[in-house]
């Protein structure tokens, strides 16, 4: 039995965020070395600020400046920083209640080791040299023995406020298609298409999934299908997809390989795009080293009767 395949899968996207008035002031403040909180209906100051009062649900917009110095309320040591974290040497994740605030802000605390960190210790903001209006404008916190810095009286009005940010997100997976798809892919390397038959409804799934989605039972009986098949339906693609190197227009078709009970997807070529039709008989065209057929081309057989494939639409 071929081995089960595995490969890295990275999912990443630069999401954009519209900040709204409160986050806009907060992040613009960081750019200007000002930390802003917001005052709630009952007089508490929340840092980082929020747009709506967690107690009354009322909209809150009363921005108040707090000090860049504060107290660690709790912490955890990070032995092995990962990519994208604030520091590349071991550090503490700390909740810091800034002087003048009633809530704590999560950030990195630069310290030589866990023995140098304790709840209640005094810290201050270490500003990043280059600031753009982002939480990373605070490079980290650092231990601080001096007097509290009195907060200023900024009200959150800035020239050229930051109104949006890019928030890149990245997820690293190890992807495995599982046993059934691995078998299918192994067979494709010999230019054979092998599906699996459901022991209950007898339908042949291509590609196989290892289980029948309607009967809910495992499948294992392998069935070679094709190589020829019938175009059950299709569309003509006229817009170029970003990740595909195919000239438009081209035909994207559902193809029921002979012996399969479900159509798979492929491109039709070797025929003018506007002559492709439902019922067209096709066969795969392979290129050297490719995992999948490059496209399907007409076999020259007469078209299939509608009745022979209408259940596969």
Partner 1 sequence: MSAMSKEPVAVVGIGQTKHVAARRDVSIAGLVREAARRALDDAELTWADIDAVVIGKAPDFFEGVMMPELYLADALGAVGKPMLRVHTAGSVGGSTALVAAGLVAARVHGTVLTLAFEKQSESNAMWGLSLPIPFQQPLLAGAGGFFAPHVRAYMRRSGAPDTVGSLVAYKDRRNALKNPYAHLHEHDITLEKVQASPMLWDPIRYSETCPSSDGACAMVLTDRAGAARSPRPPAWMLGGAMRSEPTLFAGKDCVSPQAGKDCAADVYRQAGIADPRREIDAVEMYVPFSWYEPMWLENLGFADEGEGWKLTESGVTELDGDLPVNMSGGVLSTNPIGASGMIRFAEAALQVRGQAGEHQVDGARRVLGHAYGGGSQFFSMWLVGDEPPAT
Among 187, 215, 262, 285, binds Zn ion (CB under 5 A): 215
Specify the stretch interacting with partner 1 by CB under 8 A; choose among 81-89, 139-147, 149-157, 211-219. Answer: 211-219
Nearest to 161 by CA among 294, 302, 260, 19: 19
217 binds partner 1 (CB under 8 A): no
The Cα–Cα gap between 38 and 44 comes to 8
| Burial class of 234 by CB neighbour count within 10 A (0 to 12, 13 to 18, 19+) | buried
59 binds partner 1 (CB under 8 A): yes
Is the bond into 211 cis (omega within 30 degrees of 0)? no
As given in the structure block, the two tokens for residue 75 are 């912490």
- Indicate the residue among 51 and 221 with the shorter CB distance to Zn ion: 221
Among 4, 55, 106, 116, binds partner 1 (CB under 8 A): 55
Among 4, 201, 217, 301, binds partner 1 (CB under 8 A): 201
- Please tell me the count of residues contacting partner 1 according to CB under 8 A: 68
Give strand ranges (E) for 216-300: 221-225, 229-237, 250-257, 264-268, 281-285, 295-298
Place of tokens 């070529």: 269
Specify the stretch interacting with partner 1 by CB under 8 A; choose among 69-77, 78-86, 149-157, 244-252. Answer: 244-252
Altogether, the residues listed in the chain come to a count of 313
Specify the stretch interacting with Zn ion by CB under 5 A; choose among 133-141, 149-157, 214-222, 236-244. Answer: 214-222
The values of phi and psi at residue 293, to 5°, are -55, 140
* Least distance in angstroms from the C-beta of 6 to partner 1: 8
What character string, x for contact with Zn ion (CB under 5 A) and - otherwise, covers 171-210? ---------------------------x-xx---------
Residue 129 interacts, among partner 1, Zn ion, none and using kind-specific CB cut-offs from 5 to 8 Å, with none
57 binds partner 1 (CB under 8 A): yes
As given in the structure block, the two tokens for residue 79 are 């032995």
Nearest to 95 by CA among 112, 116, 79, 117: 117
| Burial class of 1 by CB neighbour count within 10 A (0 to 12, 13 to 18, 19+) | exposed
- Rounded to 5°, the CA angle 18-23-25 comes to 115
192 binds partner 1 (CB under 8 A): no
In order of 77, 89, 107, 117, 157, the CA distances from 112 in angstroms are 11, 9, 16, 9, 38
Binding residues among 136-165 for partner 1 as defined by CB under 8 A: 163-164
* Least distance in angstroms from the C-beta of 53 to Zn ion: 55
- Indicate the residue among 128 and 215 with the shorter CB distance to partner 1: 215
* Least distance in angstroms from the C-beta of 312 to partner 1: 8
The Cα–Cα gap between 307 and 292 comes to 29
Q: Which residues bind partner 1 (CB under 8 A)?
A: 5, 7-9, 11, 13, 15-21, 23, 50-57, 59, 163-164, 167, 169, 175, 177, 181, 185, 198, 201, 203-205, 212-214, 232-239, 241, 243-244, 246, 249-250, 252-254, 261-262, 265-267, 278, 291-292, 306, 310-311, 313
Q: Which residues bind Zn ion (CB under 5 A)?
A: 198, 200-201, 212, 215
């Amino acid at each position: 039995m071929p081995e089960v395949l595995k490969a890295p899968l990275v999912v990443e996207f630069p999401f954009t965020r519209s900040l709204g008035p409160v986050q806009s002031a907060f992040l613009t403040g960081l750019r200007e070395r000002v930390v802003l909180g917001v005052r709630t209906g009952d007089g508490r100051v929340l840092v980082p600020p929020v747009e709506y009062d967690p107690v009354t649900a009322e909209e809150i917009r009363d921005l108040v400046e707090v000090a860049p110095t504060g107290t660690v309320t709790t912490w955890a040591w990070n032995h092995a920083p990962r990519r994208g974290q604030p520091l590349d040497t071991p550090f503490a994740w700390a909740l810091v209640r800034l002087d003048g605030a009633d809530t704590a802000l999560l950030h990195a605390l630069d310290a030589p080791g866990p023995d140098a960190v304790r709840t209640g210790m005094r810290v201050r903001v270490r500003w990043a040299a280059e600031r753009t209006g982002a939480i990373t404008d605070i490079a980290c916190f650092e231990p601080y023995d001096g007097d509290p810095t009195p907060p200023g009286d900024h009200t959150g009005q800035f020239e050229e406020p930051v109104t949006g940010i890019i928030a890149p997100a990245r997820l690293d997976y190890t992807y495995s298609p599982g046993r059934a798809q691995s078998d299918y892919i192994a067979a494709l390397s010999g230019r054979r298409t092998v599906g699996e038959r459901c022991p209950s409804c007898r339908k042949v799934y291509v590609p196989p999934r290892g289980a029948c989605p309607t009967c809910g039972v495992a499948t294992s009986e392998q069935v070679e299908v094709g190589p020829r098949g019938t175009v059950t339906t299709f569309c003509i693609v006229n817009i170029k997809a970003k990740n595909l190197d195919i000239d438009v227009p081209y035909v994207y078709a559902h193809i029921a390989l002979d012996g399969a009970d479900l159509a798979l997807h492929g491109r039709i070529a070797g025929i003018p795009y506007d002559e492709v039709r439902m019922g067209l008989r096709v066969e795969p065209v392979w290129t050297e080293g490719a995992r999948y057929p490059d496209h399907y081309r007409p076999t020259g057989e007469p078209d299939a009767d509608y009745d022979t494939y209408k259940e596969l639409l």
